[in-house]
Structure 1
Amino acid sequence: MISAQQLPFPNKIQRVMEEEACEEQYDSENCTCSSTSTESNSDSPVILKILQNWVPRVSPYFDKEHYTYVGRQIVIQESIEHFGAVVWPGALALSQYLESNQERFNLKDKQVLEIGAGTGLVSIVACILGAYVTATDLPEVLENLSFNISSNIQNMNIHKPEVRKLVWGESLSEDFPSSAYHYDFLLASDVVYHHTALDPLLETMVYFCQPGTVLLWANKFRFSTDYEFLEKLSSIFDTTILAEFPESNVKLIKATVREN
């Protein structure tokens, strides 16, 4: 859920060109977060490359992409009308990391909430890994999100996911009362962009991250505001950069409630 604004991208190639053209020239090596640490058993984040899990297929629909995760082919239908309904690099990185680190982050029978689920790729992967998934996004994205999830998990013996509306910062306690909802994992990918909903996004992360919740956030860092958001996140939570994907400038961050 990067933006609710409708943008007339005619195809994926132009979408990528538009994104690259608008990126700021920001030197990430000179931007550090003082309260962001690496794991105690490692001196630095794992450096990874997003694998080519995209599998070309002959399809009459230009807006469908085929991926393979956890031994399953996943077919994603994108929408050219919304930023939130296309597959961005953070979703690929997070899906790949969850698949490759099942022992470290075991999702089986865990309660998982994805915010800004977009096309549903990450939620689908989490479902295949055995989680109870709630996939959330803006109302205008839900139809495509629901279609992708339902079409990819049909006839699979897994927990059936729930798709729900979630507008960051709005009606959180009414729609998701903390007395009834507790999530083991909060997943987010490419939810930070050059948009005006960063404060409500942070509020939403704080609301859902209760003691025991692990936030896994993968994001392509494009703008100085992305690093500023990471600074704010790190001032509230204990944060760790788990992995970096230099070719796509994606960072994967783990955040947990800071112990007193």
Structure 2
Amino acid sequence: MTEKLKSCSKSVAGSDNFQKLSELSASFPADKYTDMLAESNVQLGMELLFKKHDKSRDYQDYFNTAFTATITGRQIGEAIRKAPLLLLLILMIFAVGGCSSAESVLRPDDVLLSARVAPFTSVPMYRSYFGVDQPLPEKEAEKIMRNFIRVDMYWDLRLEKKWDNQGSTKFYYSPYLIVIPPKEEVVYAGGHRGVNLHTVGAALPHEVLENVLKDNKDYNWAKMSEERFGYVLHARSFEQGSTSLAFLKNINSDITPTFKIYFIYYDPLAKQGWVRPIKAL
């Protein structure tokens, strides 16, 4: 086999086709020559090169493999040369994404906040709020209704922020609201039964306490669930825009109780947020 390969190599090396191919390869830089081979029909070239050497068929596969390896090497080389460009493109995409994320951050002054503490002004309103359907006489229902008050809370983006957001798909996380009633003046009576707009609890997530309320000294927020001094509402969405809680007043007092209300916005991905008090009207 070794003698046969030497004989074939000498025969091929002495052929005119091989001499022309050698001269041509010497006149081109390596990368251009590789490109030329890759873009030509290698199989056809080999057939022409070996058509006078029938006995060299066993070795044609060897040369085909060599040319294939050359082409594969060129493709890998191109991929390596293009890698920095691809990396740069990826970095640009992340940079643009980072800018978009920064622009969509919600700041405290981007949100309009308000709250109202008010009595129920009609029996139908009272019944709708609590889902009450007992067949009480109108006067009896009105007498019961007067002992309840509602705390309505509202939030919305400022007009300037809405204008900046037009045509965009910016997403804002659902806020938390804390309602702190005056001690011994009211008893929690529930939320709006007609629409399930929020969840009510007595504690905030640990990451909100750590990243938002850590420096707020108004209350010992970590003790809220233990001491039960406030109610936490988590809205279903930011677009919801409002929520409400109801309380039963002390029947021996005609004074409208004073509530402390806080609005919390928290971004769980950025691990940051802010808190603002809401003054009830």
| TM superposition score category, shorter chain reference | under 0.3
Q: When the two structures are superposed, what TM-score results if normalisation uses the length of structure 2?
A: 0.19
Normalised by the length of structure 1, the TM-score is: 0.20
Greater gyration radius: 2
Q: Which has the higher helix share?
A: 2
* Relative contact order higher in (CA < 8 Å, ≥ 6 apart): 1
